[in-house]
């Protein structure tokens, strides 16, 4: 196995803490959370106590001021055990950076320390029933009325939506504009006019809290605007490379875990007087998958290295996300086949991993959107005026 060189001894010490946290507080209870469709708030607070939330947030705002690799370790270790319920990465590595980079001093001091302790859980409100990836054409509106915005509309597929105390909500402050009409507004979920819909039943990621959200004449002060009015789309673009890298990190770690589960099962499963691992088809299939996952691991690690340097190109991030999540689904499909009927049973990790992997080709931008981004860089369209 090619050694990984991007992690320091301090990173690995943090990994040990993460593994203990998962062994003690996540894996024994994840099946219960799948039935509930949600992880308990106590888990968020326990993660906060151990310093696992918002690790990249500056210390003055309650974080550890650590680099992205610490976040990557938590993402990897959760993926290795199929723990899709605790969506700490969305809270810490997607929403928190927007507040750090674009929030006012008051917003940072009000929200970031509570996010780091797990006292406040946040969600990102982007997707709507009319479309997920097309943020320019969202319909939820925030119309200014004096010193307030009045918000009307709805969101769907919102991770952490049922648990969230705070939403980073994408709205149209100028419905006549496309990208330049999008603004980001911090919305407290205790406000009058906000209601949660049902917890959505998904084919996978069942412990992950995913909800519909509704807004009816909900009022927030103008001071809740994140960044500038009409600048929301540009703000969202600043974190897309990291969001896509997160999905790639999850994908390759989950693939590595599935290969190990399958190797161990094949070595033990008796068939026709030998083990499943003795058949050439098993050996060749797993050998091919191992080689592909190893190549993807090297690519993902290199992208993480570039991201630390601030040099990860959005097109490369899209490429990384595309191939990692495509390969993840391929690995889960082919590995599940070796388990036969047991692979179709929910009690087996490979069954849950198969269902969970399908989401990764959608979340963080669909595979088709990734291809469009890559294609635009390779084959720029000629405008016809």
Q: Any idea which residues carry the catalytic annotation?
A: 243
Contact 361, 326 (CB under 8 A): yes
Contact 182, 229 (CB under 8 A): no
Of 20, 86, 371, residue with least CA distance to 250:
86
DSSP-derived secondary structure for 87-151: -HHIIIIIIHHHHHHH--HHHHHHHHHHHHHTSS-EEEE--BTTBSS-GGG---EEEEETTEEEE
Cα–Cα dist 135/107, whole Å? 24
Cα–Cα dist 162/197, whole Å? 8
Q: How many CA atoms lie within 13 A of 114 on its CB side?
A: 13
CB < 8 Å & 24+ apart, contacts of 179-182: 179/135, 179/136, 179/233, 179/234, 180/230, 180/233, 181/230, 182/135, 182/136, 182/138, 182/230, 182/232, 182/233, 182/236
Cα–Cα dist 75/86, whole Å? 10
Contact 211, 158 (CB under 8 A): yes
Contact 241, 93 (CB under 8 A): no
Cα–Cα dist 277/332, whole Å? 17
DSSP-derived secondary structure for 1-61: -PPP-S--HHHHHHHHHHHHHHHHHTTTTHHHHHHHTS--HHHHHHHHHTT-SSTTS-GGG
Q: What is the C-alpha radius of gyration for the chain, rounded to an integer number of angstroms?
A: 21
Contact 22, 78 (CB under 8 A): yes
Structure-token pair, residue 314: 């959005």
């Amino acid at each position: 196995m090619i050694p990984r060189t991007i992690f320091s001894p301090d990173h690995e010490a943090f990994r040990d803490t993460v593994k203990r946290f998962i062994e003690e507080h996540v894996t024994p209870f994840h099946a219960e959370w799948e039935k509930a469709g949600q992880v308990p708030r106590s888990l968020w607070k326990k993660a906060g106590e151990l310093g696992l939330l918002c690790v990249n947030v500056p210390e003055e705002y309650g974080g550890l001021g650590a680099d992205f690799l610490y976040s990557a370790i938590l993402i990897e270790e959760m993926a290795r055990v199929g723990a899709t319920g605790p969506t700490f990465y969305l809270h810490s590595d997607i929403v928190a950076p927007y507040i750090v980079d674009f929030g006012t001093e008051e917003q940072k001091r009000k929200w970031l320390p509570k996010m780091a302790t797990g006292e406040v859980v946040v969600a990102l409100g982007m997707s709507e029933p009319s479309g997920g990836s097309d943020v320019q054409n969202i319909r939820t509106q925030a119309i200014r009325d004096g010193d307030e915005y009045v918000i009307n509309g709805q969101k769907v597929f919102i991770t952490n939506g049922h648990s969230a105390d705070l939403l980073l909500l994408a709205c149209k402050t100028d419905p006549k504009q496309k990208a330049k009409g999008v603004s980001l507004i911090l919305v407290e979920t205790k406000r009058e006019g906000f209601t949660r819909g049902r917890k959505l039943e998904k084919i996978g990621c069942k412990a992950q809290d995913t909800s519909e959200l509704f807004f009816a004449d909900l009022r927030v002060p103008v001071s809740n605007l994140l960044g500038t009015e009409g600048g929301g789309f540009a703000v969202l673009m600043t974190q897309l490379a990291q969001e896509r890298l997160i999905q790639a990190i999850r994908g390759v770690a989950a693939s590595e875990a599935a290969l190990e589960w399958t190797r161990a099962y094949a070595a033990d499963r008796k068939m026709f007087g030998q083990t499943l691992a003795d058949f050439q088809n098993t050996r060749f299939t797993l050998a091919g998958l191992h080689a592909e996952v190893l190549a993807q691991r090297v690519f993902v690690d290199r992208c993480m290295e570039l991201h630390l340097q601030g040099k990860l190109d959005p097109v490369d991030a899209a490429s990384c996300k595309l191939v990692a999540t495509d390969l993840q689904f391929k690995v889960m499909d082919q590995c599940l086949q070796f388990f036969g009927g047991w692979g179709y049973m929910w009690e087996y990790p490979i069954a849950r991993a198969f269902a969970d992997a399908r989401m990764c080709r959608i979340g963080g931008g669909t595979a088709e959107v990734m291809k469009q981004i890559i294609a635009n860089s390779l084959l720029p369209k000629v405008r016809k005026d």
